[in-house]
Amino acid sequence: MRKQQQYLQLRVEDHSYLTNVLAKGTLNARVARRASALLQLHQGGDLNKIAAALGVVYQTVADWRDKYFEMGLDFLQDKPRPGRPNFIDGIDRAKITSLACSDAPDGYAKWNLRLLADKAVELNLVEQISYSKVREILKKTN
């Protein structure tokens, strides 16, 4: 079994791009870590030392190197991850917010999250909603 090369030779434009982007400091931590690993590999760094310096394991740095060979710099950015789609659109969010701004029901001094969730379902604003989702909606409003 042939041992893979540990270092890599970056293309000139890739090297200058990575250097400029890291100098600006506007990257998120994941992308900055990957870019830094590529530059260190380009300078002849050892996979174990790079992994220790970046707080990752050896295999992670090796995977980054291999992905650079396959995809170029496109691998730096995370791919979109699947997730649960929003079942409450902007109009429904606005209705829940306006409900929270209205007068509280009789017997209550002010709205609480459980009351808002129950009332939103009762008024058919949404089919179902948890009080924690109501909290998220109201937290995002000013």
| pLDDT tens, residue by residue, 18-54 | 898 888 877 788 889 999 999 999 998 889 999 999 9
Residue 81's pLDDT is what? Answer: 81
Residue 24's pLDDT is what? Answer: 85
CA-angle at 42, arms to 32 and 27, nearest 5°: 10
Collapsing DSSP to helix, strand or coil, 66 comes out as: helix
Radius of gyration of the chain measured on its C-alpha atoms: 25
User: For residues 67 and 64, what is the distance between their CA atoms, to the nearest angstrom?
Assistant: 5
Q: Whole-model pTM?
A: 0.57
Look over the chain and give the mean of its residue pLDDT values, rounded to a whole number. 88
